[in-house]
Structure 1
C-alpha cells in the first residue's frame, strides 16, 4: 500500500492490493488443498443439514458489517465528507490494532473445536483462559499508549490536517479491548460449542445500539458522536456474550494473572508519563522512543513478574526447559 498508493489516481492499485490481501491466500490454499483432500463428488448429498448454520453465519456477518459501517454511512448523510474523512483516519488506526488482537482467534479456533468435540473440558477452559490473558496483555497497553499519544500518531500517519480525528480516536481505543474479548467469547467459545445463534443475537443488539446512538449523537458531536456509538455498541456485544457465558467465565477469570497485568500497566504508564514532556523534532523518533520505552518497560515488568505467557514465549525463543517457562501454552 505504501509503495503503490501515492495519490488519488492510484485507486486501481488500492483496489488490487485490497482484494489480493483479503482473498489472495484463499486462491493459493485451494490449490494446496488438493494435496490434503481428495476432491471428488460424494453422494448422496444432503445440503439441508448445512442450511441452518450457513444462514446463521450469513446473518451474523451481515449484522456485523452493518454496525461496523453504519457510523461512516450515517456520518456522511448527517454531516459531510470532511467529517467522514476525520473519522476514517481514527477508524483505520483502530482497525490495525484490532486485527492484531483478533488474529489469535483464527489460530485457536480449530484446537478449541477439537477439545470440545473430544470432551476435554479442562484443556478447553485452559486454552480459553490463556486467550483472555493474551488479549488483556496486548489490548490494555495499546489502549493506554494510543490514547495518550493519539495526537502524534494521527499527525504522523495522516498529516497535521487530520488533527480533528484525535478525539474520536481516543474514544475508540477501548473498543480494542471489547472486540478482543468478544472475539474470544463469540468466535472461540460460543461458535465451537454450537451456540452461534447467541453470537447472532449479540451482534444484532450491537447494530441496534449503534444505530440509535448515532441517530442521537452524530448531529450534535459529529465524528466523536459516531465514535461513542461504536464504543457502546462493542461494549453491548461483549456484555451480552459475557452474560451468556457467566457460568463458564467464573472458572476462567480466576486463572488470569491480573496482578502481573496491573503491575506492568502501572510501570509502563509511569514511564510514558515521564516521557510526555519530551518533544523531539521528528514525529517518527518521538513515537519510536515513546513506543519502545512504553512497551519495553511493559514486557520487562511482565518478565520480572514471571507472567506465564511471557515466560513461555521467552522460553521457546531461548529453548529453555519447560519447567523454567511458567505455565506452557498448548
Structure 2
C-alpha cells in the first residue's frame, strides 16, 4: 500500500501553488494591461475563451473523473497503469477530433481567421493539457512536485513578460508567454509519469467502463465552460474587444480570490474519494464540514474587502484606463463565496459519493441562467450585465447542489459560526474604510487597508475563539516552536 500523503502538507503546498497563481498575474497583469490596453487584453482573452470550448471537448470530463478513478486504485501500480493508459488513449483520440474542429473554425469563421496565429498559439494549451495528465498527479496527491514545477515556469514567464512585451502589437508574444507559463510544465508531467505508472502495455484494457462516467463529467464540463466563458464570448460578439478588456480586468481579482478559496477543495477531492472507497464515512463528513467552514472564513472577508476597495484594486492591477471595470468587479465579487461553496458541495461531496448527475443539473441550470440574463442585460449594461449574469448563475448552481446534498451530509452548513464571521467583518470594515478618505497612492492604500482589515478580522476571530482559526494558529505556533 502506498504511503498516504499528509493532508496538511498537501494543503500547504497547494496554498503555495495558489499564491503563485495569483502573485504571477498580480505582477504581470498590471504591466501587460498598461502596454496592451483594453483592446489587446480583450483580443487575447476572447481567443482564450473560444479555445476553452475546444479544450473542453478534448478533455471530456477526464480532468475531474481521472482524479477519482486513479485515487481509487492508487495503491496498486498495475491497476493504476491500466487506468491511466485507458484514460490517456481516450483523451488523445478526442484531442485529435477537437483539433480538426478548431482548424475548420479558423478557416471559416472570419473573426478567428483574421487572428489565426493567435488561435494557433493558444491552442497549444489543448495538447499540453492532454499529455500533462494533471489528474494523475492530483490523484496521487503529488502537490509538492506540482507546486515546484509550476513556480519555476511562472518565473520563466515573469521574466519573459518584462523582456519581450513592450507595445500594443506584442499581444501575440503575450499569448505565447501565457501558454508557456501555465502549460509548458505539463511536458515534464509526461516525462515524470514513469515514476508512478509503466509506459509498457499491461493488457486487459476496458475502455468501455469509463465511457458513461466520462460523459457525465463531460456534460458537467460543458455546462461549466459555457457559463464561465459565455460572458466573454457574448461581450465580444455583442459589444467589442474594449468591453471584453474591461470585463477581463473586473474578473481578474475575482479569479485570484477564487483560487485562494478553492485551494482546500482541490487537495481534498482525492482524499474524499479514498475515504468513500474505504467506507470511512465519518472521516468524510468531518472533512466536508471543515471545508465548508474554511470557505466561509476565507471567502467572506475577501468578498467584502474587494467590494469596498474595488477602485483601488482595478487601478493598481490595470491602470486608470480600466475605470469602467470597477462596478462590474463589485457586482461579481459575491461569486467568490458561491463558487467556493459549490466547489465543496459539488466536487468534494457529491462527486465522491457518486452523485455527479446532481452536479450536472446544477451546472446546466447555471449555464441557462447565465445565457438568459446575458442576452437581456449585455446590450444595455455591457460588462456590468455580464457580471450580473455570472453572479445569479453561480447562486443558482449552489442552490441546486444544496437541495441535492442536504440529505446526504446532515447539518453541513449548521456547524459554521456565522455570527462570529459577520461581527469580525464589521469590525474589519470599520478599521479600514477610513483609508478611502486619505487620497493615497493606490498601492499604499491597498497595503494599509489590507493590513487593517485582515489584521482586525483575524484577531477578532482569535479573541472569539473561532475553532478552525484557533486550531490553525496553534499549529503554526507549534511549527515555529513558540508553544508546546
- With structure 2 as the length reference, what TM-score do the two structures score? 0.63
CA distance in 2, matches of 1:222, 1:22: 29
Structure 2 CA distance for partners of 1:198 and 1:301, relative to 1, 3 Å: same
> Which segments of structure 1 move beyond 4 Å, counting only runs of 4 or more?
none
- Deviation, 1:320, is 7.0
Q: Output aligned runs, 1:1-330, within 5 Å.
A: 2=28, 3=158, 4=161, 5-280=165-440, 282-319=441-478
CA distance in 2, matches of 1:117, 1:89: 42
- Deviation, 1:262, is 2.2
Deviations 1:87-125 (A, max 9, x none): 111011211111111122211111111111122222111
- Deviation, 1:245, is 0.6
Deviations 1:32-66 (A, max 9, x none): 33223334322221110111111222222222111
| Secondary structure of the corresponding residue to residue 407 of structure 2 | helix
CA distance in 1, matches of 2:457, 2:245: 33
| Secondary structure of the corresponding residue to residue 85 of structure 1 | helix
- Deviation, 1:14, is 2.5
- Deviation, 1:77, is 2.1
- With structure 1 as the length reference, what TM-score do the two structures score? 0.91
- Deviation, 1:249, is 4.9
- Deviation, 1:12, is 4.2
CA distance in 2, matches of 1:146, 1:56: 36
- Deviation, 1:25, is 4.1
Counterpart contact for 1:126–1:252, Cα < 8 Å = no
CA distance in 2, matches of 1:28, 1:208: 38
Residue matched to 2:45: none
Worse-superposed segment, 6-15 or 263-272: 6-15
CA distance in 2, matches of 1:92, 1:143: 14
CA distance in 2, matches of 1:118, 1:250: 21
- Deviation, 1:165, is 0.8
Deviations 1:242-299 (A, max 9, x none): 110122354222222223222211221221234332332x211111100111111111
| Secondary structure of the corresponding residue to residue 93 of structure 1 | helix
How many residues in Structure 1 have an aligned counterpart in Structure 2? Answer: 322
- Gap regions ≥5 residues in structure 2: 1-24, 29-157
CA distance in 2, matches of 1:117, 1:274: 52
Residue matched to 2:137: none
CA distance in 1, matches of 2:466, 2:187: 40
- Gap regions ≥5 residues in structure 1: 326-330
| Secondary structure of the corresponding residue to residue 247 of structure 1 | coil
- Deviation, 1:19, is 2.3
CA distance in 1, matches of 2:395, 2:352: 22
CA distance in 2, matches of 1:90, 1:41: 48
Worse-superposed segment, 296-305 or 9-18: 9-18
CA distance in 1, matches of 2:261, 2:181: 18
Deviations 1:145-164 (A, max 9, x none): 10011111111111111111
CA distance in 1, matches of 2:248, 2:254: 10
Worse-superposed segment, 140-149 or 252-261: 252-261
